[in-house]
Amino acid sequence: MTSIRWGLIGASNIARQYVINAIRENGGTVSSVMSTSAERAKAYAGANGIPASTTDLSALLADPAIDAVYISTTNELHRDQAIAAAKAGKHVLCEKPLALSLDDAHAMVRAAKEAGVVFATNHHLRNAGAHRAMRRAIKDGRIGKPLAARVFHAVYLPESLQGWRIANPGAGGGVVLDIAVHDADTLRFVLDDEPEEVAAITQSGGMAASGLEDAVMTTVRFRSGLIAQTHDAFTAKYAGTGFEVHGTEGSIVARDVMTQRPLGTIVLRDEDGEHPLDFDRTDLYVTALSAFHGAIAGTGRPAADGEDGIRSLAFGLAVLDAARSGRTVKVETGL
């Protein structure tokens, strides 16, 4: 495969910590980074071995030596940047939540379709070997009919990330659009099912300002009738993460798997006792970029595409609506 040349839109932590490496591990090149600050762009480029930097999105998008862009700016900026990139003929890997409204997310996915470029949402968790092993066990019928799931995704937001996420509703801050959307994607992927309605209660437990939520508990009913509960937080220092699926013939209990790294353990319990499940420990983002490069080459599809991004956003917006209204809310995707 020819090397894919990437432009980064956003001088972000996530690109620095995971995605630049994943591009390079898949034979890609990071050609340029765009930031709103020339100084930060230059420092970021220098620190990460990127040959060029710019503050001009149009210039980056006009560069014929860039094939694809990774958008990891704050969430209110994704829509315009993604649409501009698609119109410029660049393939787009966009961070979640795709946007702050469903209309915007649809417009992004439509723009990519019209331009004939690959569009993906960076939902990393479905790339985890742990979640793939859970999906496989369920598909193989090892727990019978899945009836319930529980996701424990209450973590502590590191001080270095205590910025827009807890202070800026306009940037799509708050734990629901940050973490609950990942739960939605992971549940959809592992269960191969669609969330249909949600009820939720949020909390402002002292970290988030401006009335933003920093924790949420949600209950969900899926199309199959399965019920799920999720707990997301920025404020839980010692909770650990987990994911359980309980079926008529067995239960899958996974611990420490709602993470960015290929960690954790899975045990399947049934009438014969406890069975540890082995799983692949490949870097989640390397798997995501491998799929994205494959989609560009026409040999595969993105791990999570635009429709997946629309669906997880629809879930997040329904959770916020349910928490505000105190009512059960249907998950309307517009798809």
CB of 242 to ligand NDP, least distance (A): 18
Q: Count the neighbouring beta carbons within 10 Å of the beta carbon of residue 41.
A: 21
Q: Count the neighbouring beta carbons within 10 Å of the beta carbon of residue 76.
A: 17
CB of 42 to ligand NDP, least distance (A): 11
CB of 14 to ligand NDP, least distance (A): 4
Print the binding letters for residues 114-153 with ligand NDP: x by CB under 6 A, - otherwise: --------x-x-----------------------------
CB of 5 to ligand NDP, least distance (A): 19
Tokens of 63: 């560069």
3-state SS, one letter per residue, for 8-50: EECCCHHHHHHHHHHHHHCCCEEEEEECCCHHHHHHHHHHCCC
Q: Where in 213-252 is the site for ligand NDP (CB under 6 A)? A: none
Strands (E), 96-194: 119-121, 146-154
Print the binding letters for residues 252-281 with ligand NDP: x by CB under 6 A, - otherwise: --------x---------------------
Contact region with ligand NDP (CB under 6 A), list: 12-20, 62-70, 236-244, 310-318: 12-20
Decide: is 167 part of the binding site for ligand NDP (CB under 6 A): no
| Separation CA 335–CA 321 (nearest Å) | 19
Decide: is 14 part of the binding site for ligand NDP (CB under 6 A): yes
Handedness of CA 55, 103, 118, 112 (dihedral sign): negative
**Residues 309 and 288: beta-carbon distance below 8 Å:** no
Decide: is 72 part of the binding site for ligand NDP (CB under 6 A): yes
Work out whether strand 250-255 and strand 68-71 pair parallel, antiparallel, or are unpaired.
unpaired
CA distances to 19, 43, 253, 315 from 52, rounded to whole Å, are: 17, 11, 46, 38
Which residue among 1, 3, 27, 37 contacts ligand NDP (CB under 6 A)?
37
Q: Which residues bind ligand NDP (CB under 6 A)?
A: 10-14, 35-37, 40, 72-75, 95-96, 122, 124, 161, 163, 178, 260
